[in-house]
Amino acid sequence: MQDKVVIVTGGSSGLGRATAELMIAEGARVVIADINGEAGEAVANAIGAEFVRTDVGDPMEVEALVSGTVARFGQLDVMCNNAGVIAIAPVLETTNEAFDHMVTVNFGGVFYGTRAAGRVMAEQGFGAIVNTASNGGCSPSEDMAVYSGTKAAVVALSKACAIELAPKGVRVNTISPGTMLTGMVPDVEGIVEVLDKLQPIGYAANPSQMAAGVLFLASDEGNYVTGHDLVIDGGATAGRRAVGV
Ligand SMILES: NC(=O)c1ccc[n+]([C@@H]2O[C@H](COP(=O)([O-])OP(=O)(O)OC[C@H]3O[C@@H](n4cnc5c(N)ncnc54)[C@H](O)[C@@H]3O)[C@@H](O)[C@H]2O)c1
């Protein structure tokens, strides 16, 4: 990733921060974009990134993020559309506001980011886009109907974009993480132990274990990989566990 220019949305926390840190360790120049200005500035200062406050649900802000990054660095090598939100609720109790927010950020944000970066990369003739989905997209969870739907949509969108952009030298892939201990995990006593037990591998992931997958998809080592959904979930969606009978 030496000297490559990388944008990471949702880079103030969790997987986005871990991705930004790993990219910088590999020699990249990284722009963190996040709606949380205070955390974004602090993280960017701590890890040696630049920060642009961005609401990925606003197409104009995403266009400005991408065009500003290209104006600053001259090119864009990697776009990680990673920002996401969740509202956990039974489907019958899910509000219009919660639906709109998840669709706008999780699906809209990935579309706006893929379109803006894709235009620049198609013009350059190179680039890699890595979109964050979830293993909930292919194996949905109770009380996460809308969230899971947005993540399935991210995978389908990315595969279609991969087909369209491959002849232009641009790769588009998704990463589908399983449960990670990040700001997205509800702050409930004992939750970590419960989440650990749900993973066949025995513990919920550290975001850095996902960032390694993002790095592979973004890097030249992955230069023949496009339209792929890389599931990293400790075996959680590999199949059913025995029920002991
Ligand atoms: N944590 C998990 O178990 C898990 C599992 C599968 C997938 N994911 C996905 O991983 C991605 C990263 O989540 P995380 O677990 O690191 O959570 P996190 O809450 O720690 O980080 C999400 C980041 O996105 C930012 N963000 C939220 N809305 C935004 C907006 N409108 N514009 C810009 N930034 C915004 C937040 O400020 C935050 O910094 C998300 O897409 C999430 O859906 C998480």
Q: How far is CA 68 from the centre of its chain?
A: 21
Residue 109 lies in a domain: no
* Ligand 1 pocket, Cβ-based, cut-off 6 angstroms: 9-10, 12-16, 34-36, 54-57, 82-85, 105, 132, 134, 177, 179-180, 182-184, 207
Secondary structure class of 173 (helix, strand, coil): strand
User: Is-contact 33 54, C-beta < 8 A?
Assistant: yes
Per-residue model confidence as pLDDT tens digits over 166-225: 999 999 999 999 999 999 998 899 999 999 999 999 999 999 999 999 999 999 999 999
DSSP lists the bridge partners of residue 101 as none
The whole-angstrom separation of Cα 137 and Cα 211 is 19
Quick one: which of 185, 230, 220 has its CA closest to 204?
Answer: 185
- The residues with which 11 forms a beta bridge, in sequence order, are none
Contact, 46 vs 21, CB < 8 A? no
For residue 193, what is the DSSP state? H
Q: How far apart are CA 44 and CA 239, in angstroms?
A: 39
The answer for residues whose C-beta is within 8 angstroms of residue 201's C-beta and 6 or more apart is 234, 235
- State both tokens at 224: 């023949």
* SS3 call for 58: coil
Tell me phi and psi for residue 90, to 5 degrees.
Answer: -55, 145
- Asked, for residue 192, whether it belongs to a domain, the answer is yes
Pocket test for ligand 1, best of 15, 131, 185 (most atoms within 8 A of CB): 15
Ligand 1 atom nearest the C-alpha of 182 is: 20
Supply the pLDDT for residue 203. 97
Q: Which amino acid makes up residue 157?
A: L
Is there a domain that residue 241 lies in? no
The reply to whether 203 belongs to the active site is no
User: What is the reported pLDDT for 41?
Assistant: 98
Q: Which residues of the chain have pLDDT under 50?
A: none
State the residue range of the domain holding 80: 5-103+125-205+215-232
pLDDT of residue 208: 97
The H or E element spanning position 70 is helix 59-73
Domain count of the fold of the chain: 1
Is 200 inside a domain boundary? yes
Can you give the three-state secondary structure of 18-30, one letter per residue?
A: HHHHHHHHCCCEE
Q: Is residue 108 part of a domain?
A: no
Residue 114 in any domain: the answer is no
Is the residue at 53 inside a domain?
A: yes
- Convert the pLDDT of each residue in 78-90 to its tens digit: 999 999 999 999 9
The CATH number for 37's domain is 3.40.50.720
Report the separation in Å between the CA atom of 174 and the middle of ligand 1, taken as the mean of its atom positions: 14
Which one of 112, 147, 203, 224 is the catalytic residue? 147
| Amino acid 175: pLDDT | 98
Residue 18 lies in a domain: yes
Provide the 10 A C-beta neighbour count for residue 141.
Answer: 14
